[in-house]
Structure 1
Amino acid sequence: MATPAIEVAGLRKRYGEGEAAVDALKGVDMIIHPGEVVGLIGPSGSGKSTLLKCLGAVIEPSAGRMALAGQTIFDERWKIRDLRALRRDSIGFVFQAPYLIPFLDVTDNVALLPMLAGKPNHEARRQAMELLEALDVGHRAKASPSELSGGEQQRVAIARALVNRPPVILADEPTAPLDSERALNVIRILNRMAGQYQTAIIVVTHDEKIIPTFQRLYHIRDGRTFEEAGEGRSA
């Protein structure tokens, strides 16, 4: 079996000290393989956002182990010196809001990350254009973000998350602002891109209309995860 794209064991996160301490994560275990799109669901305050921030190397866990694409990035302490480079090269982020840069056109919004990684501008733009075409927004390549519909903006955000071909994408409520048809279309795209690029994708969601599309679900309650098989119906 292929090396897991995401492997989490005994992950804990405590905020504060002493009597004021709050345990947001109490021993999370999770394995996600390349090409999988997995849902992460749970009530507000259950630890979803904290887990995503730990996986994204945005905050430091208190204990446990995390590995991405077979590389241990945290084992009781960070094992990676340059966390900024890790986030840039190995983790794609898709948020509820697209957060596109308003003064850059669509192509440069997607090409910016590979440019920052040192790729020549023409090559970065070529990569960006390939993804925009694959996501059916190539015809909007020279548009500004304000000229796009909500669904188009989210496709551009997905292209930006994929442009450096990261092994992992973390999607935080990516369909929340969209109607049913556009939300299901975003999930179709994520599934197609996961299969094409063998990217592991975690989707944090409260969106009941997309939950039946996941083949696997992780519930998080009181800082712990529980896995169950999803219905896995086609979106």
Structure 2
Amino acid sequence: MAVELLIVPCLADNYAYVVHEAATDTTTVIDVPEAPPVLKALTERGWKANLILLTHHHADHIDGAQTLAAATGAKIVGAKADAHRLPKLDQQVAPGEKLAIGMEQVEVLPADGHTVGHIAYYFPEAGLLFSGDSLMSWGCGRLFEGSAAQMFDTLSRFSELPDETLVCSGHEYTEANGRFALSLEPDNPNLLARMDEVRATRGQMRPTLPVELGLEKVTNPFLRGADPKLRAALGLPADATPLAVFTEARARKDRF
């Protein structure tokens, strides 16, 4: 699927994403931390937003949605389960549903953990996963409302997607997340190589996102619950379950 992906920096470290499908002149914005940078990016390219997809209710993902909708006529889409704390929705969706967006059939995926009612959007033809604050680049979101088991289930489902899927998460947290990963496994060559790349990228003031899911699977501690090397690094017994590994890693990240 020929789409153009635009990353729009917002606030201190947030990202909004814009997907433009030229064949149908369809423009979709995923999360709007603030409206002015997104409006500027759209105007510069002569695009008009058709849809705004929201992942969860936190202010740094939704505060610009109504302003952007008023300025462009875009329809706001979000989780039915979260509708009571989202901007007024033009369309409510639930996990398992599909959205016809341009030539795509976008899948609405459950993503509980960071919040309850969090959803993600998967564009299978374009190979894009908009994960909000669930799966992060080299990390995962803090468990503000959901449980470790819920987040583990979310990340396990994402892990089943193709390795070439591009993960588009909500924040520029990659380097900080990488420092945590290296605190667990300071000699892991995959982690060291990735950190070199991340620091070079950030040194040029470029986003570290999107990131291939395949890279996350081999470097993100929250996707490596079945890896005996990570289990040993955490000091857990050989029979510790992947959920137990995840839970311990998440607890350590909270204290990091």
Q: TM-score, normalised by structure 2?
A: 0.35
TM-score (norm 1): 0.37
The structure showing larger relative contact order (alpha-carbon pairs under 8 Å, at least 6 residues apart) is 1
